A and B are shown apart, each in its own frame.
Chain A
Amino acid sequence: MNILSLFVLIPVLTLGGLLLCGNTRQIRSVVATGASLLLALAIGVVIAFLNERAAGNTAEMLFRSDVMWYKPLNIHYSVGVDGISVAMLLLSAVIVFTGTFASWKMPFQQKEYFMWFYLLSVGVFGFFISIDLFTMFMFYEVALIPMYLLIGVWGSGKKEYSAMKLTLMLMGGSALLLVSILGIYFHSAGEGAPLSMNILEIAQNSSMPVELQRWFFPLTFIGFGVLGALFPFHTWSPDGHASAPTAVSMLHAGVLMKLGGYGCFRVAIFLMPEAAKELSWIFIILTGISVVYGAYSAIVQTDLKYINAYSSVSHCGLVLFAILMLNQTAMTGAVLQMLSHGLMTALFFALIGMIYGRTHTRDIREMGGLMKVIPFLGTCYVIAGLASLGLPGLSGFVAEMSVFVGAFQETDTFHRVFTIIACTSIVITAVYILRVVGKLLYGGIVNEHHLELTDAVWYERFSVIVLIIAIAGIGLAPLWLSNLIQNSLIPVLNQLNF
């Protein structure tokens, strides 16, 4: 049994285990076991990967396994990881783990909730380990559908509207993707050779002419970009996040939005490098807009979740922006930013969920001075905020600086101008973060009832502390991670320099 397949197997088994559960205690023990196993597995894979690399294994993808699945179309269940997917697996495992603890208490139907939740994580893990386009796409869809129910059933506010909007927009994106995957497939090999869905084989043998790439690159980039909150296809994000229950917001902003960035990088740029070079300018403009647009929009929001949703638009915009710089430093920054953003948004959404569970409002105008009554949650919120505005020592700084330094290596005026525009986001981010922190946590108590709030309980503390440790870990010792990512980028760079 391939070690990577465990990433799919464990959530599936958890799902099965949940089916048998009768009471809350059983549910909790099953999900806690599943989540812990996943986290342990992810850490184990990272260590195993580093060992392999240290031992001199220079294969592009490690832990390969390949099973023919559907012969007529040459579709395989094919898995393998490089440094980037390993990092994303670790991120996903951390978020699933903390998300599980953040949903320790659910008002109703906890079992069904967790079942959809783990189905979603099947999709997420499967996506990151796949190197077969079709299997990858299948897992991608598996990750999207449960979202509809999780938001529609367990959400809050105008949940039906948000769930429908999110699903339709993301499905629209996957429709584009399907077209482009077929396009890539039919040009995956030279004249007469058998066609392939395997990303590595396509990258070597692709015969897609540049004229066709010009069509399929934008389709792929937008298809994945919708999930990565690419302007102007980002509007599912504020509503979706606001309506989703806590752990779903965490998983969605933390991991699912990363599927977009990862896909843009792994499929759009890796397989269509010529068009990527030619057309990157269009998307640099769009992502450049995303970065500042999201940040400015966040300044005036009053709902905590909307603030973080727009902040995500800005931060994820930076991910795509960095990928499009098409150089090693910036792309490393992009992956770091995916990790960093995943962790800190998950932290934000977890905290917002916990605060909402106590105050029953997310409107910052109705809250104030909470630091005094719930100091633990307050302090963690400040830490999340500082990570978000790029304080050195936390993950955001490392990621942003890699992106900016990388982007600055592109010398022409166009890149310079957009890099400087993207840089200004560090100031705007500070404005909206400090505004929220100031209103929510400092000052006097606004609502008398808030005086009786109780601080976080053990499972809440546990989930938050794990996230903070991960954020600080990346922020304090980034070298191993950035080396891991940088080395994995070499095949892409070779593609780009054909």
Chain B
Amino acid sequence: MEYTVLIFILPLLTFLALGLLGTKLKPNVSGSIGTTVLGICALLAYITAANYFSMPRVDGVRETIIPLHFEWLRFTENLKIELGILLDPISVMMLVVITTVSLMVHIYSLGYMHGERGFQRYYAFLSLFTFSMLGLVVATNIFQMYIFWELVGVSSYLLIGFYYTKPEAVAASKKAFIVTRFADLGFLLGILLLSYYTKTFSFELLTSGDSTLFSQAAGTTFMGCSVMSWAMALIFMGGAGKSAMFPLHIWLPDAMEGPTPVSALIHAATMVVAGVYLVARLFPVYYLETPEVLVLIAVVGAVTSLYAAIVACVQTDIKRVLAFSTISQIGFMMVALGVSGLEGHEGLGYMASMFHLFTHAMFKALLFLGAGAIIHAVHSNEMSHMGGLRKYLPVTHITFLVACLAISGIPPFSGFFSKDEILAATFAFSPVLGITMSFIAALTAFYMFRLYYNIFWGEESSHEHTPHEAPKSMTLPLVFLAVVTVFAGFIPFGHFVSSNGEAYTIHLNWTVAISSVIVAVIAIAAATALYKKKSPVPDRMAAALPKLHHAAYRRFYMDELYLFITKRIIFNHISRPIAWFDRHIIDGSLNGLANVTQRVAYAIRGIQSGQVQQYVYVILLSTVVIAALVLWFL
């Protein structure tokens, strides 16, 4: 499958071409180049997937193939960075997801970004991002993943700050980069630790289940935890940063300052699930070597999911609601991985997590693109400027509703199947966790329908001009993604992806399925009652719990904490004193030394008077003294 390499080379070349030619190209030319190339990539990705999944299993297990790899940099005998392509079920699935969503976003942006300044730059960055993300998922070793991990980070930085004259966008891009960089520091240290003890970067070796690889680390502990636990927890920290896990999630809501199609691609469907993908990639290591870190992952996932769902219920900016919803759903995926086992039906969580990653990418991209169409129509992100839009935006309305139903877990939409598997897996792990996750699922249904009703129903707010449906280039991707969302649930996903590569048949757990549907329906009913028509109840509820409402609205002050750390502590209490110390103490002492030298020189220069009598006098005197001393000692 050597042709797979084209999937990466093409976007890279597009990036270079669009980036270097820049404004010499007409906007629509660069738009069509970008979109066409991505179309080819998507096609190639589908061919790869078809070929890969039609290969016969070896011993009932799907093979891992590496069609291409070469040495890029060698550190030591064993530790070398290779660049290559690794195809296994999850990476092939990710290829399909990324190219599909990216293609939809490329098409959509032709309409959405039409007439924007920097259109060429936008498409260049989109290509760069697509290239980096694809490189990330097919990484053959953990260092290659880190390389592309950084590259997606910078693409995300560039795209969030696309409107670079807007101070909010600049601040948001900076924040996103720094917060994820901080997490990447953990990732890097984790890689260094892991590779030092295992003497390899290769995923194939690491996940082979060969425990002798980890024998050198055995017995080494640091602060009460084994060194492997530290390494794997630090690697997870990198994943938590990219995947916006609490408390490193703070960059994601701000990242919504970027153009909306970018939010759909990077901050909903692909880059933010990189952390989940990382954990899935190293799952055998987590499961076999450091099960305690897997519990940590589940806990972090659950806390994040709950926190984000609560915050999403009170946000008024539609993109922020969707951002918190994304955080919450990624939490679901993390929890599913955290509770999963490795063999046979133990591996339900793993499969469910990947399934949810897949379906979520589709319906969340759909939601964001829908939100983009709405923003395009009313020129605002605020719910209060919307209402009653279903008349004006029929296509957007239907597709948005489909996505809302999917994320709420209503059958037969795709979200129902994947979420149901996750819930079944968590119930099997611990009923408490299961109930918590069900509650979060209910919250999800509630805030999504709050959003839906606020946008499409309720009172119409006054518009400067009548909102109108988006152009074809924008509605086409919506319809496509909606169709996928409707039917994706029926894919026999376990047949393609499972924790150990064996075929896995999904059985609906009817108790969990029925109860979760009932809970979702109740939540939707509550949202309908509260938000379908203007009702005083929500305001009264907010007034009854002013502190809680305000805290949730301010996202429980996590951003203030970030500002406190960066502005107060780092800027004012570390950097300033250090800079002062440098200028006044270190430099000051040098200047002091120079001053003293100068003064001493002034003070003693009188001795060189130039008077011969004085010199003779001194010479005579010295001779006598020396002679006396010599005589004395003799």
A residues with CB within 8 A of B: 165, 168-169, 232, 235, 293, 296-297, 299-301, 328-329, 369, 371-372, 386, 389-393, 397-398, 401-402, 404-406, 408-409, 411, 420, 423-424, 426-427, 430-431, 434-435, 438, 441-444, 478-479, 482-483, 486
Binds A, one of B185-193, B268-276, B436-444: B185-193
- The number of A-B residue pairs with CB atoms under 8 Å apart is 120
Residue in chain A with minimal CB distance to B79: A405
Contact, CB under 8 Å: B181 / A441: no
Contact, CB under 8 Å: B594 / A443: no
Question: Could you say which of A168, A391, A442 contacts B170, with CB atoms under 8 Å apart?
Answer: A442
- Is B617 close to A, CB under 8 A? no
- Shortest distance in angstroms between B275's beta carbon and chain A's nearest beta carbon? 18
Question: Could you say which of A299, A442, A478 contacts B575, with CB atoms under 8 Å apart?
Answer: A299
- Known contacts being A393-B151, A478-B73, is A297 close to B579, with CB within 8 Å? yes
How far apart sit A441 and B173, CA to CA, in the bound complex (Å)? 14
B residues with CB within 8 A of A: 71-76, 79, 81, 143, 146-148, 150-151, 154, 157, 161, 164-165, 167, 170-171, 174, 177-178, 181-182, 184-185, 188-189, 192-193, 195-196, 566, 570-571, 574-576, 578-579, 582, 586-587, 590, 594
Contact, CB under 8 Å: B73 / A408: no
Contact, CB under 8 Å: A427 / B178: yes
Contact, CB under 8 Å: B178 / A392: no
Contact, CB under 8 Å: B174 / A408: no
CB neighbours (8 Å) of B165 from chain A are 369, 372, 442-444
CB neighbours (8 Å) of A293 from chain B are 578, 582
A-B contact pairs, 10 of them (CB 8 A): A165-B594, A297-B582, A299-B575, A329-B75, A392-B148, A401-B81, A404-B188, A441-B164, A442-B165, A443-B165
Q: Is the interface of B mostly helix, strand, loop or mixed?
A: helix
How far apart sit A169 and B594, CA to CA, in the bound complex (Å)? 11
- Shortest distance in angstroms between A486's beta carbon and chain B's nearest beta carbon? 8
How far apart sit A194 and B575, CA to CA, in the bound complex (Å)? 54
Contact, CB under 8 Å: A299 / B570: yes
Question: Could you say which of B143, B164, B192, B195 contacts A443, with CB atoms under 8 Å apart?
Answer: B164
- Shortest distance in angstroms between A421's beta carbon and chain B's nearest beta carbon? 11
Contact, CB under 8 Å: A398 / B73: yes
- Shortest distance in angstroms between B117's beta carbon and chain A's nearest beta carbon? 9
- Known contacts being A297-B575, A299-B570, A482-B74, is A423 close to B188, with CB within 8 Å? yes
Contact, CB under 8 Å: B181 / A427: yes
Question: Could you say which of A392, A405, A434 contacts B177, with CB atoms under 8 Å apart?
Answer: A434
How far apart sit A389 and B578, CA to CA, in the bound complex (Å)? 21
- Known contacts being A423-B189, A427-B178, A427-B181, is A386 close to B154, with CB within 8 Å? yes
Beyond the given A386-B154, A392-B147, A444-B165, could you list 16 further A-B residue pairs with CB under 8 A, ordered by the A residue number? A165-B594, A235-B582, A235-B586, A296-B570, A296-B579, A297-B578, A329-B75, A392-B151, A405-B75, A405-B195, A409-B196, A423-B188, A426-B184, A443-B167, A478-B73, A479-B72
Residue in chain A with minimal CB distance to B574: A296
Contact, CB under 8 Å: B72 / A478: yes
CB neighbours (8 Å) of B143 from chain A are 401
Contact, CB under 8 Å: A235 / B587: yes
Contact, CB under 8 Å: A165 / B174: no
How far apart sit A282 and B76, CA to CA, in the bound complex (Å)? 26
Question: Could you say which of B75, B79, B571 contacts A299, with CB atoms under 8 Å apart?
Answer: B571
CB neighbours (8 Å) of A409 from chain B are 76, 196
Q: Which of B75, B147, B151 has the most CB of A within 10 A?
A: B75
- Shortest distance in angstroms between B203's beta carbon and chain A's nearest beta carbon? 18
Contact, CB under 8 Å: B150 / A392: yes
- Shortest distance in angstroms between A36's beta carbon and chain B's nearest beta carbon? 25
- Known contacts being A168-B594, A423-B185, A424-B185, is A296 close to B192, with CB within 8 Å? no
- Known contacts being A168-B594, A438-B174, is A406 close to B75, with CB within 8 Å? yes
Contact, CB under 8 Å: A301 / B579: yes
How far apart sit A426 and B574, CA to CA, in the bound complex (Å)? 16
Question: Could you say which of B147, B185, B192, B193 contacts A427, with CB atoms under 8 Å apart?
Answer: B185
- Known contacts being A235-B582, A391-B150, is A329 close to B587, with CB within 8 Å? no
Q: Which of B143, B148, B171, B192 has the most CB of A within 10 A?
A: B192
Q: Which of A232, A402, A408, A444 has the most CB of B within 10 A?
A: A408
How far apart sit A430 and B177, CA to CA, in the bound complex (Å)? 8
Contact, CB under 8 Å: B578 / A296: yes
Contact, CB under 8 Å: A482 / B164: no
How far apart sit A285 and B325, CA to CA, in the bound complex (Å)? 46
Contact, CB under 8 Å: A442 / B189: no
Contact, CB under 8 Å: B161 / A442: yes
CB neighbours (8 Å) of B185 from chain A are 423-424, 426-427
CB neighbours (8 Å) of A431 from chain B are 178, 566, 570
Contact, CB under 8 Å: A420 / B150: no
- Shortest distance in angstroms between B455's beta carbon and chain A's nearest beta carbon? 32
Residue in chain A with minimal CB distance to B192: A408
Contact, CB under 8 Å: A430 / B178: yes
How far apart sit A389 and B181, CA to CA, in the bound complex (Å)? 10
Contact, CB under 8 Å: B151 / A391: yes
Residue in chain B with minimal CB distance to A476: B72
How far apart sit A417 and B430, CA to CA, in the bound complex (Å)? 39
How far apart sit A405 and B184, CA to CA, in the bound complex (Å)? 15
- Shortest distance in angstroms between B10's beta carbon and chain A's nearest beta carbon? 17
Contact, CB under 8 Å: A427 / B171: no
CB neighbours (8 Å) of A404 from chain B are 188, 192
CB neighbours (8 Å) of A483 from chain B are 74
Question: Could you say which of B72, B195, B590 contacts A169, with CB atoms under 8 Å apart?
Answer: B590
CB neighbours (8 Å) of B170 from chain A are 438, 442-443
Question: Could you say which of B164, B182, B192 contacts A405, with CB atoms under 8 Å apart?
Answer: B192
Contact, CB under 8 Å: A329 / B182: no
How far apart sit A232 and B578, CA to CA, in the bound complex (Å)? 12
Residue in chain B with minimal CB distance to A430: B181
How far apart sit A426 and B191, CA to CA, in the bound complex (Å)? 15
Residue in chain A with minimal CB distance to B188: A423
CB neighbours (8 Å) of A478 from chain B are 72-73
- Known contacts being A391-B154, A397-B147, A442-B170, is A482 close to B73, with CB within 8 Å? yes
- Shortest distance in angstroms between A430's beta carbon and chain B's nearest beta carbon? 5
Contact, CB under 8 Å: A408 / B582: no
- Shortest distance in angstroms between A286's beta carbon and chain B's nearest beta carbon? 12
How far apart sit A232 and B581, CA to CA, in the bound complex (Å)? 11
How far apart sit A300 and B575, CA to CA, in the bound complex (Å)? 6
CB neighbours (8 Å) of A411 from chain B are 196
Residue in chain A with minimal CB distance to B158: A382
Contact, CB under 8 Å: B73 / A296: no
- Shortest distance in angstroms between B106's beta carbon and chain A's nearest beta carbon? 23
Residue in chain B with minimal CB distance to A428: B570
Q: Which of A406, A420, A423, A434 has the most CB of B within 10 A?
A: A434
Residue in chain B with minimal CB distance to A382: B158
CB neighbours (8 Å) of A391 from chain B are 150-151, 154
CB neighbours (8 Å) of B182 from chain A are 427
How far apart sit A287 and B576, CA to CA, in the bound complex (Å)? 20
Contact, CB under 8 Å: A408 / B196: yes
CB neighbours (8 Å) of A420 from chain B are 189
CB neighbours (8 Å) of B578 from chain A are 293, 296-297
CB neighbours (8 Å) of A434 from chain B are 157, 174, 177-178
CB neighbours (8 Å) of B148 from chain A are 392
Q: Which of B73, B74, B165, B181 has the most CB of A within 10 A?
A: B73
CB neighbours (8 Å) of A165 from chain B are 590, 594
How far apart sit A392 and B587, CA to CA, in the bound complex (Å)? 36
How far apart sit A327 and B587, CA to CA, in the bound complex (Å)? 34
- Shortest distance in angstroms between B416's beta carbon and chain A's nearest beta carbon? 40
CB neighbours (8 Å) of B171 from chain A are 438
How far apart sit A434 and B181, CA to CA, in the bound complex (Å)? 12
How far apart sit A299 and B590, CA to CA, in the bound complex (Å)? 23
- Shortest distance in angstroms between B192's beta carbon and chain A's nearest beta carbon? 4
